[in-house]
Amino acid sequence: MHDWQYSERARHLTSSAIREILKVTERPDVISFAGGLPSPATFPVERMRAAAERVLTESPQAALQYSATEGFAPLREWIAKRYSRDGLTLAPENVLVTTGSQQGLDLIGKIFIDEGSRVLVEAPSYLGALQSFSLFAPTYVPVPTDEHGLLPEALTPEQTAGARFLYAMPNFQNPTGRRLPMARREALAAVARRDGLAIIEDDPYGELDYEGQRLPSLMSLAPEHVLYMGSFSKVLAPGLRLGFIIGPQAVIAKLVQAKQAADLHTPSLTQRIAYEVVKDGFLDTHIPSIRTLYAAQANAMLASLAKHMPAGTTWTPPAGGMFIWLTLPPGIDTMQLLEKAIAQNVAFVPGAPFYVGTPPANTLRLSFVTVPPEKIEVGVARLGALVADALARSDSTHLQGSCKCPSTTN
Amino acid sequence: MHDWQYSERARHLTSSAIREILKVTERPDVISFAGGLPSPATFPVERMRAAAERVLTESPQAALQYSATEGFAPLREWIAKRYSRDGLTLAPENVLVTTGSQQGLDLIGKIFIDEGSRVLVEAPSYLGALQSFSLFAPTYVPVPTDEHGLLPEALTPEQTAGARFLYAMPNFQNPTGRRLPMARREALAAVARRDGLAIIEDDPYGELDYEGQRLPSLMSLAPEHVLYMGSFSKVLAPGLRLGFIIGPQAVIAKLVQAKQAADLHTPSLTQRIAYEVVKDGFLDTHIPSIRTLYAAQANAMLASLAKHMPAGTTWTPPAGGMFIWLTLPPGIDTMQLLEKAIAQNVAFVPGAPFYVGTPPANTLRLSFVTVPPEKIEVGVARLGALVADALARSDSTHLQGSCKCPSTTN
Residue A406 has pLDDT above 70, yes or no: no
Asked if the Cβ–Cβ distance from A60 to B37 is below 8 Å, we say no
Asked if the Cβ–Cβ distance from A48 to B62 is below 8 Å, we say no
Residue B18 has pLDDT above 80, yes or no: no
Residue of B nearest to A49 (CA): B56
Task: Indicate the helix (H) or strand (E) that contains B96.
Answer: strand B95-98
Question: Collapsing DSSP states into helix, strand and coil, what is residue B267?
Answer: coil
Asked if the Cβ–Cβ distance from B111 to A265 is below 8 Å, we say no
Asked if the Cβ–Cβ distance from B267 to A264 is below 8 Å, we say no
Give the tens place of pLDDT for each residue, A302-334: 999 999 999 999 998 999 999 999 999 999 999
Query: Candidates 3.50.30.30, 3.20.20.480, 3.90.1150.10, 3.40.50.150; correct CATH number of B9-43+285-396?
Result: 3.90.1150.10
Facing A196 at nearest CB: one of B2, B6, B102: B2
Residue B410 has pLDDT above 60, yes or no: no
Of B3-12, B60-69, B282-291, least confident by mean pLDDT is: B3-12
Would you mind telling me the total number of residues written for chain B in this entry? 410
Residue of A nearest to B49 (CA): A56
Interface probe with A: pick from B13, B20, B236, B277, most Cβ of A within 10 Å: B13
Q: CA A250 to CA B13: how far, in whole Å?
A: 13
- In this structure, the number of other CB atoms found within 10 A of the CB of residue B282 comes to 16
Spacing of C-alpha A259 from chain mean position: 21
Share of chain B above pLDDT 70, in %: 94
Average pLDDT over residues A62-85: 97
CA nearest to B179, candidates B81, B34, B322, B70? B322
Q: CA A104 to CA B204: how far, in whole Å?
A: 26
Asked if the Cβ–Cβ distance from B2 to A248 is below 8 Å, we say yes
Q: CA A382 to CA A398: how far, in whole Å?
A: 15
Q: Which residues of A touch B103 (CB under 8 A)?
A: 262-263
Residue B399 has pLDDT above 80, yes or no: no
Q: CA A64 to CA A273: how far, in whole Å?
A: 12
Residue of A nearest to B272 (CA): A239
Residue A21 has pLDDT above 80, yes or no: no
Pairing state between β A145-146 and A149-150: antiparallel
Q: CA B99 to CA A1: how far, in whole Å?
A: 29
Average pLDDT over residues A51-78: 97
Q: What is the pLDDT of residue B403?
A: 59
Asked if the Cβ–Cβ distance from A13 to B258 is below 8 Å, we say yes
Give the tens place of pLDDT for each residue, B240-263: 999 999 999 999 999 999 999 999
Residue of A nearest to B133 (CA): A261
Q: What is the pLDDT of residue B402?
A: 62
Residue A401 has pLDDT above 90, yes or no: no
Largest CA distance in chain B: 69
CA dihedral defined by A113, A118, A119, A120, rounded to 10 degrees? Answer: -170
Residue of A nearest to B196 (CA): A2
Q: CA A147 to CA A65: how far, in whole Å?
A: 48
Q: Which residues of A touch B258 (CB under 8 A)?
A: 10, 13, 135
- In this structure, the number of other CB atoms found within 10 A of the CB of residue B259 comes to 29
Facing A7 at nearest CB: one of B40, B113, B267: B113
Give the tens place of pLDDT for each residue, B119-166: 999 999 999 999 999 999 999 999 999 999 999 999 999 999 999 999
Q: CA A328 to CA A394: how far, in whole Å?
A: 13
Asked if the Cβ–Cβ distance from B260 to A131 is below 8 Å, we say yes
A13-42+285-393 against A46-280: fold identical: no
Q: CA A79 to CA A278: how far, in whole Å?
A: 10
User: Mean pLDDT over all residues of chain B?
Assistant: 93
Contact by Cβ (8 Å): B101, B243: yes
Asked if the Cβ–Cβ distance from A65 to B37 is below 8 Å, we say yes
Q: Which residues of A touch B65 (CB under 8 A)?
A: 37-38, 40, 43, 237-239
Q: Which CATH class is domain A46-280?
A: alpha beta
Bridge partners of B346, per DSSP, are B31
Bridge partners of B365, per DSSP, are B325, B349
Q: What is the pLDDT of residue B19?
A: 64
Interface probe with B: pick from A56, A69, A231, A286, most Cβ of B within 10 Å: A56
Question: In angstroms, what CA-CA distances link B371 with A396, B238, B345?
Answer: 79, 18, 13
Give the tens place of pLDDT for each residue, A353-386: 999 988 999 999 999 999 999 999 999 999 999 9
Residue B44 has pLDDT above 70, yes or no: yes
Exposed (0-12), middle (13-18) or buried (19+): which is A387, by Cβ within 10 Å? buried
Interface contacts (A, B; CB < 8 Å): 255
Interface probe with A: pick from B32, B98, B108, B260, most Cβ of A within 10 Å: B260
CA dihedral defined by A169, A174, A179, A183, rounded to 10 degrees? Answer: -30
Q: What is the pLDDT of residue B140?
A: 98
Q: CA B331 to CA A343: how far, in whole Å?
A: 76
Residue B71's identity, in one-letter code, is G
Q: What is the pLDDT of residue B408?
A: 36
The CA-CA-CA angle for residues B404, B297, B32, to 5°, reads: 90
Average pLDDT over residues B382-388: 97
Q: Which residues of A touch B48 (CB under 8 A)?
A: 56, 60, 64
User: Mean pLDDT over all residues of chain A?
Assistant: 93
Q: Which residues of A touch B251 (CB under 8 A)?
A: 4
Asked if the Cβ–Cβ distance from A270 to B265 is below 8 Å, we say no
Q: What is the pLDDT of residue B317?
A: 95
In sequence order, what are the residues at sequence separation of 6 or more whose Cβ sits closer than 8 angstroms to the Cβ of residue A231? A100, A101, A203, A204, A242, A243, A244
Q: What is the pLDDT of residue B190?
A: 98
Give the tens place of pLDDT for each residue, B197-235: 999 999 999 999 999 889 999 999 999 999 999 999 999
Q: Which residues of A touch B114 (CB under 8 A)?
A: 7-9
Contact by Cβ (8 Å): B335, B355: no
End-to-end Cα spacing for chain B: 60
Q: Which residues of A touch B244 (CB under 8 A)?
A: none
Largest CA distance in chain A: 69
**Domain residue ranges in chain B:** 9-43+285-396, 66-282
Interface probe with A: pick from B1, B2, B195, B369, most Cβ of A within 10 Å: B2
Contact by Cβ (8 Å): A401, A309: yes
Pairing state between β A199-202 and A226-231: parallel
Average pLDDT over residues B340-346: 93
Q: CA B123 to CA B101: how far, in whole Å?
A: 20
Asked if the Cβ–Cβ distance from B6 to A111 is below 8 Å, we say yes
Residue of B nearest to A63 (CA): B239
Average pLDDT over residues B91-108: 98
DSSP per residue, B176-231: T-----HHHHHHHHHHHHHHT--EEEE-SSTT-BTT--PPPPHHHHSTTTEEEEEE
ipTM comes to 0.94
* pLDDT bracket for residue A195 (50, 70, 90): very high
Please give the CATH topology (third level) of the domain spanning A13-42+285-393: Aspartate Aminotransferase, domain 1 (3.90.1150)
Q: What is the pLDDT of residue B35?
A: 85
Domain B66-282 has CATH 3.40.640.10: yes
Q: What is the pLDDT of residue A395?
A: 61
Asked if the Cβ–Cβ distance from A128 to B67 is below 8 Å, we say no
